[in-house]
Amino acid sequence: MSSNLLDRRTFLTRAALLGGTAAGLSLLVGCGKGGALVCTDTASLKPDELATRTSSNYVDASTDPTKLCSSCTLYLPAAEGACGGCSVVKGPINPNGYCISWVKKA
Ligand code: SF4
């Protein structure tokens, strides 16, 4: 075998390992420990969007089971098991989250 072939195999093996590691890490970010959905990544938000999120006192897990983002009229649902969105609070929204702008879904 030529050294070029060995180099190519080494490259492909390492690329596959890196890809698997990245996929695993992205699942951990989205799911958190124990499989609980985590929707706290605000890295892509603009300062004013982050300020609204903060001033709304958004939390990723509501302390009141009768007031969840999923039961709020402003919630924008996503696929099952994924973070949704909100008409007011930008960024990923946990269906089990809550903020002070909560309005019961009709
Ligand atoms: S307004 Fe608040 S409670 Fe309603 S979906 Fe948005 S973040 Fe959740």
**Average of per-residue pLDDT values in the chain:** 81
Q: Is the CB of 93 under 6 A from ligand 1?
A: yes
* CATH fold group of domain 37-106: High-Potential Iron-Sulfur Protein; Chain A (4.10.490)
72 lines ligand 1 (CB under 6 A): yes
Per-residue model confidence as pLDDT tens digits over 6-58: 565 554 444 443 343 333 333 344 544 568 999 999 999 999 999 999 999 99
The DSSP annotation for 50-101 comes to HHHHHHTT-BSS-S-TTS-GGGBTTEE--STTS-BEESSS-S-B-TT-B-TT
Supply the pTM of this predicted model.
0.71
Which of 49, 101, 104, 105 for mutating ligand 1's site (highest number of atoms within 8 Å of CB)? 101
